[in-house]
């Protein structure tokens, strides 16, 4: 998938992504329930990066990393 073309673009990865998207669009064309399932899946998966970002921010505040000059902000971030 990492093979690049003359423009330094991963062409195989783009082809794979494009084919998968077209496949999902064809599936949703024939079944309305599938479209709703894909919407639910997408909305639930977008929450995962937010969860990990919040967990990492809490971890930094808990360990007092990067808060050497701003202890009041650390307490606010912990709350």
Q: What is the mean pLDDT of each run of 10 residues along the chain (79 residues)?
A: 86 93 85 80 91 93 85 84
User: How much is the pLDDT for 1?
Assistant: 76
Question: Is residue 28 included in any domain, yes or no?
Answer: no
Question: Is residue 20 included in any domain, yes or no?
Answer: no
End-to-end C-alpha distance for the chain, whole angstroms: 44
User: How much is the pLDDT for 70?
Assistant: 82
Question: Is residue 77 included in any domain, yes or no?
Answer: yes
| Structural domain range at position 51 | 45-79
Question: Is residue 75 included in any domain, yes or no?
Answer: yes
Residue 45: how many other CB atoms lie within 10 Å: 9
The number of folded domains in the chain is: 1
- The residues, any chain, with a CB within 8 Å of residue 74's CB and separated by 6 or more, are 61, 64, 67
Question: Is residue 24 included in any domain, yes or no?
Answer: no
Question: Is residue 64 included in any domain, yes or no?
Answer: yes
């Amino acid at each position: 998938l990492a093979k690049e073309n003359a423009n330094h673009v991963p062409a195989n990865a783009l082809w794979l992504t494009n084919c998968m998207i077209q496949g999902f669009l064809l599936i949703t064309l024939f079944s309305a329930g599938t479209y709703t399932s894909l919407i639910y899946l997408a909305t639930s998966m977008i929450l995962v990066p937010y969860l990990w970002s919040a967990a990492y921010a809490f971890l930094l505040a808990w360990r007092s990393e990067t808060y050497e000059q701003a202890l009041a902000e650390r307490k606010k971030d912990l709350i």
